[in-house]
Each structure stands twice: as C-alpha cells, then as structure tokens.
Chain A
Amino acid sequence: MDDERIIELFFSRSERAVTELAIKYEGLIRRISHNVLRSDRDTEECINDTYFAVWNSIPPQRPDSLKAYVLGVARNTALGKYHKNTARKRNSFYDTALDELAECLPDDKSVESEYDARELGREINAFLETLGREDRVMFVRRYWFSDSVADIAEMLDTRTSRVSVRLFRLREKLRRHLMEKGVAV
C-alpha cells in the first residue's frame, strides 16, 4: 500500500492504518530500534510504542515522507527507552557511537538546552551538505542509524579499518567545521 493511502487511513482513524504501517515498515523500525537498544525485548516494546506514537500524531501531522517520519519516531522512541535503561544497563554499542561523536562536539559546561541541540543539529546538517555521498551516508549510518562499523563496511564493500579511519577523519572535519562556525569545542 502506498504511503499516501496509509496516511489517509490514519486520518480516517481506520484500524487498518497501523496494520498497513506494520506490514510496510516494521523491518525498518525494528532495525532502528535494535541498533539503539540491542535488546530483543526492548525492541519489541519500542516497536509497539512507535505504532502508538504514530497513531497519536497522525493526524494532525501529515508527513511529506511517511518513511522518514516513522523512522524518526522509532528512533526517538528507542532513545527514550535507551535513556531510561542507561542507569540500569550500559549499551556499549550505542554508547560507543555517542562517545566517538563527543570528541568533536562542544564541551560546553554551561546549561544545556534543546535550543543548543537544535542549533548543533543545524550545523551538522550544514556539514553533511559539504560531504560526498559516500562520506555522508557513512556518517548518517553510524550516528543516526547507530549501525556498527562492520555493518557499514559490509554496505560499502570495503574493509572495517577503512570505515574506522574514514569516520575518524569525518569527525575531525566536523570539529573544524564547528570551530569555523564559532561553535565552542
């Protein structure tokens, strides 16, 4: 079923909306959720929570890209669960990815706010626009999708070491980009 039709089902509050959404996107939702949570049980809960969140937000939302919207909701839902779990259990995979990025991001000890995160996100987008496609995909797969370095290497048909080195250089490039923009590092 095409995305427009699924969105119309949500607007008409048809129960089929979630069924059709699941048929089409559960695989992707599961991937995103599991990359962050690394627990099958938490992933299953996250999938259900994602469907519930999408149901509650469409309408009034009418996303231009249902796929991107659902992935975003899934990621945010997974992150919410991840942060709850963090105190109890450390997820080394996702933490490692975040720690990598922390090396090149601002280390401002002052009050942190959503505004700062949004501004930083804007700068990251501006940075991504300067990259070639492969570099950009590598960065997004690592830090948005939380794919492992090994997974990314497989995607790009290259060696793990090449991906590690490339990501390191991209982080350095991001750090220089942020410094040029006046973002404290």
Chain B
Amino acid sequence: MNRKMISEAVGYIDQCFVLEAMELSYRERCPIDRDDEVISLNHRKKGISRSGKIMLVAAVITAVLAMTAFAVSVLGGRVELAYMNVGGQTISGPVTITSEDGPVKLGSWYPEGIPEGYEITDSSLATDNHSMCFENAAGARVEFVYNRARYVEEGTASNEIMPGTILFGVEEQQWVRVGNADGLLYLHTNGDQHLYWADEERNIGFKLYTTDPDMDLVELALTVKERAELFVPTDWPLTEEALGQIGDYRPSVLPEGYEFYCTNGYPQNGDNASGYAYVTHSYMNPEGNVIHLRVENDWDTSNSAETVRDLYTNAYMDDYACTRFTLGACPAGLVENPDGTPHFLIWTDGEENLVFRLEADGLTGEELIAVAESVALVE
C-alpha cells in the first residue's frame, strides 16, 4: 500500500479519537539543553497596579488620538479603487483590486443613522478588523465591518479572492456613490443587501450588510462617522475571564510611539474546544505598526512550530533561522524571516505553564527582546 493510500486511510480515523488525543496535556517542562550555547538575559519583573479594563479604554482613546492603524494584507499591490467583493461571478466596471502590504489606520467608525429599534448584539475589535452587528425585535440584522480596503480586478473571478469576498445568491449589482467614494451595492435574491465602499485616502474598506430589503444602505452608509473612542467589544467578558485564568501579562517597555490598542482573548473552560485559554494584547504606533503579545496557558497544546523544543532542535526550520537563548530562567527563541528580519520571539514559563509569543513588524531582534524582558504580571 502506497503512502498516499495510507494517509487517506488514516484520515478516516474518527473525529472523537482525534479530539480525545487533543485533550492530552504535556507535563510541565522547562528544558534547558546545557550543551547549547545560551545567552542569559535579565528578566526584570515589575508590577503595575491598574485594572485591565481601565487600561483598555484609556489606551484605546490614546491610540485613536494618535491617528494610526495597522492591518495585515492577504493580497499585495497598489490601492486604486473602491473596496468591494465579488459574488460568485466576474464583475465588470473600471475597477482594479489589490491592497497594499503595510500598516493601515482603522480608527473608530459608527453608522450613526442606524434605525431606531436596532440594538448592538455582537461586536469585535482587532487591529485589522472592526465589526458590529445590530438586530431589531423583528429579527432583522445589520452588520457593519471595516478593515483594510480590498479591491476587485476587472474580470477577476470571485474564487480567486480570499475568504470574506464571496457572495452567494446575488441578483443584481449596482454602482453607487457614497459621498465621494464609489461603492458597489449587491442585491440578493432573498432580499439581503451588501454595500461596499472605501476611504481611499485612509485605505479603509467599509461594508454594510442587512437582511432588511427595504433599508436604504446607501443612506445609512452616508451616516458612518468617525468617533473619538474605540468601542468595547461585546465579547469582553470572555476576554476578562481569560485574563483571570492566565493572568494579565503586559510589557512595561515599548519602542517609542507605541501605545496600547486592544485586547482579545478566550477562556479555557468545559465548552472551550480549544482546550486552552489565550490573551493577546496589541500595541500600535503612529505609523500603524503593531506589536502583538499573545499568552497561552497549557502551552503544550499550542502551536508545535513554536514550542521551545522545536526551537532547540531547529528540526523543522527550512527557511527560518532561530536563535536560542534564555529569557531570565525561561527557554526562548528568536525566529527570523529568510531576509534576516525578526519573525517572532517565543518563550515559555514552565512554572506557570504559559507560552508567550511576541510578534511585531519593523522591530529589530534587540528591540523585541527588550520588550519581552519587560513582560510581567500586572497586579
């Protein structure tokens, strides 16, 4: 039996066995290969007495006033025209799609003209995507999303574009104007509507979606205004729970210009299919560059490509160099991109059963290590 057949047969292993194997926990380890050359760095621990929520709101205001943003692009190229999606078919019109790599400022936007009776039921906040969902008593829904602008190339089939850009059941598409921007309005056979437009200057793409066929989405789009404050996402209680489980670890040293932006997390509990809790703190500078500090508990079940053991062995690294060292008493590794720029820094705390991952664009290895050294539990 050839390898392909074997791998196919193994693929039929029941899901329950796969999930059972996921529950297996590593024993806590903090291995140090004493034959390796290690560079010991001081790991200063400092306590900062503030509540996580107050920090979130205060830092969000600061970040917004700093007028920067960041988003990760899936496509590369030059921004040219309005943000839009393609719905299972090629589209026509004088449009070109690409989006640029690099930071993008999102700011804080809100559809001020949301009709009476609609309440926010869900919202989420990340450095590259903000979204909110409204519903009324009749069950009609409005969704407002903004992120890095994406553009459609004339003649591009929808399946050539990454997820989030495929619409089904489109009956009609209309070119519309949203203030000074071109937009595309999709009318679906079931009465749903999608409207896409972009702020080209800020490279932000906006989307409004509704299940109400009678709602004038263009009118609603015209009421979208920028606010001074970032909203607190509806899943903040889950993030708080994760913070309670993991502890609130934050850096006290950041490169110049970086301010706190947002926190996301998910707790570990009986219903949590992930099997571990995580918290990610994000920081942003005026240019829109971002630093992410992610902390996970039960670290043995997280990304194997980032376990210290893999960092030590370098067995899997084809194109990425890894420098091993210790951060205080913790095994650590600085992984570099093929061009030599830092990719991410990871270290584990065996005593607390935690793994830390620090990722940032545009920072040197020394800057990353300086941030990592300052990470401590906030009292």
Contact = CB atoms under 8 A, between A and B. Distances in A.
B304 A31 contact: yes
B134 to A, nearest CB: 13
B2 A112 contact: yes
Q: Which of B15, B21, B129, B320 has the largest number of chain A CB atoms within 10 A?
A: B21
B142 to A, nearest CB: 12
Nearest to B3: A98
A25 B274 contact: yes
Nearest to B26: A155
A135 to B, nearest CB: 11
From A1, A15, A24, residue with most partner B Cβ within 10 Å: A15
B147 A83 contact: no
Given A34-B316, A35-B304, A157-B27, A19 B129 contact: yes
B351 interface: no
Contacts of B317: 40
Contacts of A154: 26-27, 29, 300, 309
Interface string A121-160: 1101100100001001100110111010011001111000
Nearest to A158: B27
Given A16-B131, A27-B296, A40-B317, A141 B24 contact: yes
B13 A13 contact: no
A71 B22 CA distance: 10
Contacts of B131: 14-16
Nearest to A112: B5
A49 B71 CA distance: 20
Interface of A is mostly: helix
A66 B316 contact: no
Interface stretch (B161-169, B212-220, B283-291): B161-169
A105 B9 contact: yes
B271 to A, nearest CB: 6
B300 A155 contact: yes
Interface in A68-113: 68-69, 71-72, 75-76, 79, 82-83, 86, 93, 95, 98-99, 101-102, 105-108, 112
A122 to B, nearest CB: 7
Interface in B294-309: 296, 300, 302-305, 309
A107 B319 CA distance: 37
Nearest to A145: B21
Contacts of A108: 1
Contact of A52 (B126, B163, B264): B163
B3 A95 contact: yes
B4 to A, nearest CB: 6
Interface residues of B, number: 69
A16 B145 CA distance: 8
A160 to B, nearest CB: 12
Contacts of A141: 21, 24
Interface in A1-42: 1-3, 5, 12-20, 23-28, 30-31, 34-35, 38-41
Contact of A15 (B24, B145, B305): B145
A27 B126 contact: no
B145 A75 contact: no
A76 B74 contact: no
Given A98-B7, A117-B12, A155-B300, A140 B238 contact: no
Contacts of B19: 65, 67-68
B15 A68 contact: yes
Contacts of B17: 125, 128, 136, 140, 144
A4 to B, nearest CB: 10
A15 B164 contact: yes
B14 interface: yes
B18 A68 contact: yes
B8 interface: yes
A38 to B, nearest CB: 5
Contacts of B6: 98, 101-102, 105
A156 B273 CA distance: 21
- Top 4 A-B residue pairs of the complex, sorted by shortest distance between their CB atoms: A121-B12, A15-B164, A55-B163, A68-B15
Given A56-B163, A154-B309, 6 more contacts: A13-B166, A15-B165, A83-B4, A112-B1, A125-B14, A155-B26
